[in-house]
Structure 1
Amino acid sequence: MTINGKVALVTGAAQGIGRGIALRLAKDGADIAIVDINTDKMAEVAAEIEELGHKATTFKADVSNRAEVYAAVEHAEKTLGGLDIMVNNAGIEPPRLSRRLFGLNPTRRSAWPQAWRSMRLRPRQAECCRSARAGGGD
């Protein structure tokens, strides 16, 4: 399967595995929507993708927030002209660590599966990959 001219959305793409996935997809011919919570690092990855000759857009979103997830998908479609590939890579901290350090509710589920289902109903063929990992960052 070729991905020349396709549009990919990658969560957790500002660093680590997500950054690597985004850059690989760009090297293989895709334009990339970078979704993460780290705006500075997203800008760096976008510049790297553009240096490869492909379009890149960034969108700050928390994958546990349904409204932000749907907004990220809409942003990618409007900015890059569609959406063909979705990689749900964003890491979520282990529960006790998140609660202790940040007071977060780690039991919130990612809204990506619902966004993916709604995207599949659109006329364009699309593919999805979900990457499981705990923790995140460098």
Structure 2
Amino acid sequence: MSDDQALFDKGMPIRRAVLGAEYVDGSMAKADEFMMSFQRATTAWAWGWAWGDPTLDRKTRSLLNLAMLTALGRTPEIKLHVKGALNNGLTVEEIKATLLHATAYCGIPAGLDAFKAAHEVLIAEGAIPKV
């Protein structure tokens, strides 16, 4: 078995646990030959290698992802990882504190986008009430 296959096999259950089996399985099912290269790479590298390293727990990794994605302005990924953060046991207060911390370092526009994205997901997931 190649190293990439071993990392893929290690990463898939982690990816499914964090992002949700429905989302991951849907992404895999929709991938044609071209996109499957990306699916395999992200599952092996991000999920098998990075998330599969036992040094940091999943809650910490979720906090890091939210901060980094805020810095990068990756709103769709912020939405995905807010849901993942909830799956990993983060509270609304921990998500909010992470986004506020990222706002202090990344700026108000980046923070606003992150807060809007997180707010949408938190309402959809029933973590906060709709106003």
TM-score, normalised by the number of residues in structure 1: 0.33
Structure with greater proportional helix content: 2
Greater strand proportion: 1
Question: So what's the TM-score if we normalise by structure 2?
Answer: 0.34
Q: Pick the structure with greater CA Rg.
A: 2
